[in-house]
Amino acid sequence: MIAFLLSLSDWVGIVVSMVGSAVMGLVVYMVSYKLIIKYKSDELIDPTSNLFRVVGMLVSLMLSLAFADVVVDLNKIESAIERETVAIADTFEELQWFGGERAREIQTILIDYTQAIIDDDWPALANDKLGERAGVLKQQLVGSVLVLEPTTSIQEKVLSHILADVDLIFDYRLIRLDNALAKPPLYVNVVFFGFLVTMACFGVYRPQAPLVALVSLYAVFVGLVVYLILALSDPFQGGFGVDPSTFEYLVEAMRSEIR
């Protein structure tokens, strides 16, 4: 079900999630009401007393649970991507200390690798894997850097920085894969189970037009929140996650400089 929702476009997924939650919630509510009314002959509880307070508390709790973890994780991913681009930019600038055709070739490989992140890695991350072309360019970049021969003490220090930055670049690539493989938070199942239990508890109230409308709105809102949790927990799929715009700006800057 989760994979199906995330495979849809963003707005279609939102609508499907909200409608599905509303239908499921109302079915549970009506079934619960029919079961309860069989064993309760007196007047059902007046829904105007504590219903709004209960719904408000539940919605607030679900909102806090929904966004606390996924927003923090998303910020961490965006920060790691920024550090990855910084490492690439530093490597590009440090190679200028070597000069010559060899350093220029490595800079070209670095530009191609960054472009491959956009064209190859990003689509592959949506399917929980890394791109093959970016992997090939990674090996070329490592091999090219390792054969650099410093001729001055400054170049020796710069080479050590380049090697450290190249290690960071590939570490951050694995971090992207690790985040792509991450599963939705476990508490999503708990939230949805609590939503169904709450809908069942509404069965003590007689169905009336204002109450049904309120319960439907509550169910739709829960569906929206659950979908956002799922979408944000997979940061490389759909329109709610991270995009490679930082790498796009970096590629243009490096190409302009090498020209």
pLDDT in tens, 127-171: 888 889 999 999 999 999 988 888 888 889 999 999 999 999 999
- Specify the amino acid at residue 197: V
DSSP string, 68-82: HHHHHHHHHHHHHHH
What is the Cα–Cα distance from 5 to 39, expressed in whole angstroms? 39
Confidence of residue 120 (pLDDT cuts 50, 70, 90): very high
Q: What is the pLDDT of residue 204?
A: 76
What is the share, in percent, of the chain residues with pLDDT greater than 90? 26
pLDDT in tens, 189-227: 777 777 887 788 777 778 888 888 888 888 888 888 888
Question: Which residues 6+ apart lie within 8 Å of 238 measured at CB?
Answer: 6, 9, 10, 13, 231
What is the Cα–Cα distance from 244 to 125, expressed in whole angstroms? 11
Question: Which residues 6+ apart lie within 8 Å of 233 measured at CB?
Answer: 70, 73, 182, 183, 184, 185, 188
Q: What is the pLDDT of residue 70?
A: 82
pTM of the model: 0.77
In 3D space, the residue among 208, 234, 181 whose CA is nearest the CA of residue 47 turns out to be 208
In 3D space, the residue among 146, 168, 16, 31 whose CA is nearest the CA of residue 90 turns out to be 168
What is the Cα–Cα distance from 23 to 223, expressed in whole angstroms? 10
Q: What is the pLDDT of residue 60?
A: 66
As given in the structure block, the two tokens for residue 51 are 């219903």
For the ranges 19-28, 149-158, 235-244, which has the lowest average pLDDT? Answer: 235-244
Q: What is the pLDDT of residue 52?
A: 52
What is the Cα–Cα distance from 234 to 230, expressed in whole angstroms? 7
- As a residue count, the chain comes to 259
